[in-house]
Amino acid sequence: MASEHQTGAIPGVKHAVAIASGKGGVGKSTISVNLAVALAATGAKVGLLDADIYGPSIPIMMGVHGAPQGEGQKIQPLEGFGIKLMSLGFLMPDNSPVIWRGPMVAGAIQQFLREVEWGDLDYLLIDLPPGTGDAQLTLAQTIPLTGVVICMTPQDVAMRIASKALGMFRQLKVKVLGIIENMSYFICPHCHESTEIFSRGGGRKASERLGVPLLGEIPLDQELRIGGDLGQPILIRAPESPMAEIYRKLAGALAERIRVEALAIPIIQSR
């Protein structure tokens, strides 16, 4: 574990972007994996850090297993579909439950940020656990984040919880880059009718109410879920599918948002 709490950017990493949510199970890990692959498809260098210590999903969703090797002082990340990966799941492959206190979680995340040889990356996406706990706090206090993306489902209760997460990041002075609404609707493969299973418009409503851009709306899709279980991101599994196109657009929207954010000149207040 890192013996002292270092702060400052990760050398070589241009943009560290956290993927967060208030509620669990809204699709953060699915979004992180598929966004990472869609960003990499544009030619960007991408890394993906699984900061969900209690429930790491990235090894399964990327279909990558193995033990990262240490080289000198640093740990070498694994790689899948050209994306550099680190997850506690690689280090505890036997699926044993992690029973750790908060400071140990914080230590693991600091180690993943500081002691992994990330190399030169345009984007390091960080898949967070749900809520507003140790992982979020440690991340925000360890490296400067370009920003955070908040994932939510469309119903009202999700919106209330998403706004709490958003409030936490604002309090921590982390820029909220945008909201992604997941499980927005379901198109029946037989009759092609669209059903709004979890209500509709929560993402747009939240975006307007909280003054944050809506980066995209992702429908429920069986192939996306199957791809997650099999370790086949949608751009690999079905590159010509409408879902792959949705993710390409989402990656474009996020990259553009990051570009604009990076150009933003800090407003110098006179007093």
The entry of Mg ion, ligand ATP, none near residue 65 (CB within 5 to 8 angstroms by kind) is: none
21 binds ligand ATP (CB under 6 A): yes
State which residue, 25 or 242, has the beta carbon closest to Mg ion: 25
Count how many Cα atoms sit within 13 Å of the Cα of residue 119 in the half-sphere of its side chain: 14
List the Cα angle 29/33/34 in 5-degree steps: 115
Minimum distance of ligand ATP from residue 28's CB (angstroms): 4
Task: Show the site string, 130-159: x = touches ligand ATP by CB under 6 A, - = not.
Answer: x-----------------------------
Strands 83-86 and 78-80, sheet pairing: antiparallel
Residue 138 contact, options Mg ion, ligand ATP, none, Cβ 5-8 Å cut-off depending on partner type: none
Cα–Cα distance measured from residue 165 to residue 256, given in angstroms and rounded to the nearest whole number:
23
Length of the chain measured in residues: 271
**Phi, psi at residue 74, to the nearest 5°?**
-105, 155
In this structure, what token pair is assigned to residue 8?
A: 């400052």
Among 5, 65, 164, 225, binds ligand ATP (CB under 6 A): 225
Which residue among 218, 234, 254, 255 contacts ligand ATP (CB under 6 A)?
Answer: 218
- Candidates 26, 46, 62, 140: give the one binding ligand ATP (CB under 6 A): 26
**Contact partner, 209, from Mg ion, ligand ATP, none, Cβ < 5-8 Å per class:** none
- Residues 80, 13, 144: CA angle, nearest 5 degrees: 120
Query: How many Cβ atoms from other residues are within 10 Å of residue 267's Cβ?
Result: 5
Partner touching 237 among ligand ATP, Mg ion, none, CB below 5 to 8 Å by kind: none
Smallest gap from Cβ 222 to ligand ATP, in A, equals 7
Binding site for Mg ion (CB under 5 A): 28-29, 57
CA 194 to chain centre: 27
Backbone angles phi, psi at 51, to 5 degrees: -95, 10
Contact assessment for residue 17 and residue 148, using Cβ atoms and an 8 Å cutoff? yes
Answer yes or no whether residue 29 interacts with ligand ATP by CB under 6 A: yes
Judge whether 195 and 229 are in contact, CB under 8 Å.
Answer: no
Got the DSSP string for 126-150?
EEPPSSSSHHHHHHHHHS--SEEEE
Footprint (CB under 6 A) of ligand ATP, residues 41-100: 52, 55, 57
For residue 145, give Cα distances in angstroms to 41, 97, 101, 125: 23, 29, 25, 10
In the complex, the smallest distance separating the C-beta of residue 120 from Mg ion, rounded to whole angstroms, is: 27
CB atoms within 10 A of CB 74: 15
Smallest gap from residue 89 Cβ to ligand ATP (A):
12
- Name the residue nearer to Mg ion (CB basis): 29 or 34: 29
Q: Which does 56 bind (CB under 5 to 8 A by kind): ligand ATP, Mg ion, none?
A: none
Q: Which residues in 232-261 contact ligand ATP (CB under 6 A)?
A: none
Give residues in contact with ligand ATP (CB under 6 A): 21, 24-30, 52, 55, 57, 129-130, 182-183, 218, 220-221, 224-225, 228
